[in-house]
């Protein structure tokens, strides 16, 4: 019985570690974005979201700040009215749309 509890405790810890690392990484992303915004290197997320909502119909379900071709970009996942997921990359500095997955332009 004691051995089962020990095994369950170890398995529980092993399962919890990825979530703790992920939460720490998300905090780092938030801090990095705030620092870049305060230095004027990127636009605020609210402006970016407004730009994407004007151009791409659907619900924004995820946002990440990434480096693309040496520039900071917001990468958004948008689920359209048809249920399809699209990836939208927006240049974080000027807020101009860089690439919309599946867009022929």
| Domain 42-105: CATH architecture, name and number where available | Roll (3.10)
For the chain, the distance separating the N- and C-terminal CA atoms, rounded to the nearest angstrom, is 63
Strands 85-91 and 97-100, by their bridges, are: antiparallel
* pLDDT(15) > 80: no
* Alpha-helical segments (H) within the chain: 2-38, 45-55
Burial class (CB in 10 A: 0-12, 13-18, 19+), 86: middle
Q: What are phi and psi of 102, to 5 degrees?
A: 85, 0
- The 10s digit of each residue's pLDDT in 53-96 is 999 999 999 999 999 888 899 999 999 999 999 999 999 987 67
- Residue 76 pairs in a beta bridge with 63, 88
The reply to whether the predicted model has a pTM over 0.75 is: no
- The 10s digit of each residue's pLDDT in 16-28 is 444 433 444 455 6
């Amino acid at each position: 019985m004691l051995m089962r509890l020990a095994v369950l405790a170890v398995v529980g810890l092993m399962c919890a570690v990825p979530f703790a690392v992920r939460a720490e990484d998300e905090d780092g992303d938030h801090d990095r974005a705030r620092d870049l915004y305060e230095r004027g290197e990127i636009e605020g997320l609210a402006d970016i979201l407004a730009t994407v909502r004007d151009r791409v119909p659907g619900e924004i379900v995820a946002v990440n700040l990434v480096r693309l071709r040496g520039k900071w970009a917001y990468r958004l996942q948008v689920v359209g009215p048809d249920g399809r997921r699209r990836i939208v990359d927006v240049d974080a500095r000027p807020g101009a749309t860089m690439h919309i997955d599946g867009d022929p332009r």
